[in-house]
């Protein structure tokens, strides 16, 4: 296989910039406006975010998850608590996340502490999911080794048979986490790689804002 010439892969950025006056003092308001822009641009799965966790001794891992809620408390996503990410968050309850909306030449980065959301909120979301997704959550030993695809499908079939046409019970090991935002950075691509980067840091009930060099 011939290696691609990655050094020559380059795209110019030429969209409007991000000035402090336009950004405002409230990063959650700005996040909402940017997310609305991503929706209007019909970006595929605009709520996809890369979630980075690490073990207690600093070994990192990253994967894509779907953002399912955002408010003053932080960003919410759902997973199996016994998965690799779940185990790492139990031993080291901190995470970083990044969302890229490439057609808009925008990126958002978040860092903060992580905690489980209330069981009632996990229950509510679980039962809003398609039935097949509920069965998969109940059947899959996420991040564990399985013999092959057939073994995984057999687990699903067993769970589907158990519940029949009845309501699927949310497993105790499945639910939501919330990243309680301590810092959030907005990145806007600019010409000549002189990008705009605005960093907000939580200061009690308010935020401080600084500009970072690209």
Q: Transcribe the chain into DSSP letters.
A: -PPP-GGG------S----HHHH-S-HHHHHHHHHHHHHHTT-SSTTEEEEEEE-TTS-EEEEEEE--EEETTEEEEEEETTSHHHHHHHHS-EEEEEEEEGGGTEEEEEEEEEEEPPHHHHHHHHTTS-HHHHHHHHH--TTS--S-HHHHHHHHHHHHHHHTTSPPPPPTTEEEEEEEEEEEEEEE--GGG--EEEEEEEETTEEEEEE---
79 annotated to bind ligand: yes
156 annotated to bind ligand: no
169 annotated to bind ligand: no
117 annotated to bind ligand: no
66 annotated to bind ligand: yes
Catalytic residue among 131, 193, 209, 211, which?
193
195 annotated to bind ligand: yes
Specify whether 87 is catalytic: no
78 annotated to bind ligand: yes
42 annotated to bind ligand: no
210 annotated to bind ligand: no
Query: Which residues are part of a known binding site for substrate?
Result: 68, 125, 129, 133, 193-195
Query: Which residues are part of a known binding site for FMN?
Result: 63-68, 78-79, 84-85, 107, 142-143, 187, 197
Query: Which residues are part of a known binding site?
Result: 63-68, 78-79, 84-85, 107, 125, 129, 133, 142-143, 187, 193-195, 197
Which residues form the catalytic set? Answer: 193
């Amino acid at each position: 296989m011939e290696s691609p010439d990655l050094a020559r892969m380059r795209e110019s950025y030429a969209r409007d910039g991000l000035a402090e006056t336009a950004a405002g003092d409230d990063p959650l308001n700005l996040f909402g406006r940017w997310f609305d822009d991503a929706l209007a641009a019909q970006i595929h799965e605009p709520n996809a975010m890369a979630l980075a966790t690490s073990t207690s001794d600093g070994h990192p891992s990253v994967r894509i998850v779907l953002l399912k809620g955002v408010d003053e408390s932080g960003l919410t996503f759902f997973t199996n608590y016994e998965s690799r990410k779940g185990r790492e968050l139990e031993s080291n309850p901190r995470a970083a996340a990044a969302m890229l909306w490439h057609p808009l030449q925008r990126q958002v980065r978040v860092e903060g502490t992580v905690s489980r959301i209330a069981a009632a909120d996990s229950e509510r979301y679980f039962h809003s999911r398609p039935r097949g997704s509920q069965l998969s959550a109940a059947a899959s030993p996420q991040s564990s080794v399985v013999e092959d695809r057939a073994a995984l499908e057999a687990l699903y079939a067993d769970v589907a048979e158990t519940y029949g046409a009845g309501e699927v019970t949310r497993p105790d090991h499945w639910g939501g986490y919330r990243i309680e935002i301590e810092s959030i950075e907005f990145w806007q691509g600019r010409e000549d790689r002189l990008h705009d980067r605005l960093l907000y840091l939580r200061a009690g009930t308010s935020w401080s804002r600084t500009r970072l060099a690209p």
